[in-house]
């Protein structure tokens, strides 16, 4: 565990407790220093500078995806004992404040009012690394954030449908990552560490329409020359999941993914637009917005 902790700290993660982590998002930094915002602010109205990017399972995952920025070779077993939600939440908020403290030394470049607000986040993105639904009390974690009046985003890879089916509290924005249109492509791109990863993902897609929450979103992480074909097959999976929104987003050539992929595998924004136009034709969803700087296109069924 010390090896992965050392790597994550070099990547500017702040470790919280035994298995959680926080990292200041690129767009939080841009909002503070340049007034630019994340596509989640553009699409869903959250404030980029007040977003807490965290995970309760930084080294636990059922995948070893080619496109993951984490050092996936250091996946850890889930321990029998784990931190309670309140400990994680308090630790993550404090870690965010500590990470932001350095910005007080650059006030000529930083909006001081935004910085003060950033120290009291109002949105949590439970998506930083690992598979968050492997944390045994994910409902309690979401509930704890909601009691603090946070808006909540949860991103899952869909391999734990039994968790999705039994949660007591759901996030405001529930994402399932759809990384491939077929089983063969899924196994090539995601390197599942469980026997029925593809079957579990499909079970989660079937569950999605039944989950009552504010927004249900499919995230298509697109890697050039790997998973940007078979749009008819993507459309069948989308029909099964019936999400409110689809985000077609480019893989970004960052972190440890650079050891597995080439920069040429990162789609340009034009590639994402072209893919989305084809998906629009096949799926019945319509392009409603985009964020070129993040190489993402938003599609909606309405």
| Binding-site residue positions | 25, 38, 51, 61, 65, 68
In terms of C-beta density within 10 A (0-12 exposed, 13-18 middle, 19 or more buried), how is residue 159 classed?
A: buried
Query: Are 229 and 181 contacting, i.e. CB atoms less than 8 angstroms apart?
Result: yes
Burial 49-84 (b: 16+ CB within 10 A, else e): bbbbbbbbbbbbbbbbbbbbbbbbeebeeeeeebbe
How far apart CA 218 and CA 241 sit, in angstroms, is 8
How far apart CA 272 and CA 250 sit, in angstroms, is 7
Q: Who contacts 243 (Cβ-Cβ below 8 Å, separation ≥6)?
A: 176, 208, 216, 217, 218, 301
Query: Are 197 and 186 contacting, i.e. CB atoms less than 8 angstroms apart?
Result: yes
Binding-site members for [4Fe-4S] cluster are 25, 38, 51, 61, 65, 68
In terms of C-beta density within 10 A (0-12 exposed, 13-18 middle, 19 or more buried), how is residue 124 classed?
A: buried
Q: Is 183 helix (H, G, I), strand (E, B) or coil?
A: helix
Residue with tokens 């392009």: 287
Query: Are 53 and 130 contacting, i.e. CB atoms less than 8 angstroms apart?
Result: no
Q: Retrieve residue 67's tokens.
A: 């496109």
Q: Retrieve residue 157's tokens.
A: 């890879």
Q: Which helix (H) or strand (E) holds 155?
A: strand 151-156
Q: How many residues does the chain have?
A: 302
Q: Is 8 helix (H, G, I), strand (E, B) or coil?
A: helix
């Amino acid at each position: 565990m010390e090896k992965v902790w050392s790597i994550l700290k070099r990547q500017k993660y702040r470790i919280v407790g035994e298995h959680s982590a926080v990292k200041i998002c690129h767009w939080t930094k841009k909002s503070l220093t340049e007034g630019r915002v994340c596509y989640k602010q553009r699409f869903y109205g959250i404030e980029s500078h007040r977003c807490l990017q965290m995970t309760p399972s930084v080294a636990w995952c059922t995948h070893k995806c080619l496109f993951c920025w984490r050092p996936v070779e250091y996946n850890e077993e889930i321990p029998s004992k784990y931190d309670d939600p309140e400990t994680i939440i308090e630790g993550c908020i404090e870690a965010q404040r500590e990470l932001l403290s350095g910005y007080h030394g650059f006030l000529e470049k930083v909006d001081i009012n935004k910085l003060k607000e950033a120290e009291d986040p109002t949105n949590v993105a439970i998506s930083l690394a690992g598979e968050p639904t492997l944390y045994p009390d994910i409902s309690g974690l979401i509930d704890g954030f909601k009691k603090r009046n946070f808006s909540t985003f949860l991103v899952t890879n869909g391999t734990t449908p039994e968790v999705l089916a039994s949660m007591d509290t759901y996030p405001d924005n529930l994402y399932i990552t759809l990384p491939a249109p077929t089983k063969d492509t899924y196994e090539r791109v995601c390197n599942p560490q469980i026997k029925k990863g593809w079957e579990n993902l499909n079970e989660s897609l079937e569950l999605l329409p039944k989950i009552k929450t504010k927004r249900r979103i499919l995230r298509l992480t697109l890697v050039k020359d790997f998973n940007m074909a078979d749009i008819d097959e993507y459309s069948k999976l989308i029909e099964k999941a019936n999400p409110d929104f689809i985000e077609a987003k480019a893989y970004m050539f960052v972190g440890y993914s650079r050891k597995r992929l080439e920069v040429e595998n990162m789609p340009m924004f034009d590639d994402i637009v072209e893919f989305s136009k084809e998906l629009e034709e096949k799926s019945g969803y319509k392009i409603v917005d985009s964020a070129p700087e993040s190489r993402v296109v938003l599609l909606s069924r309405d």
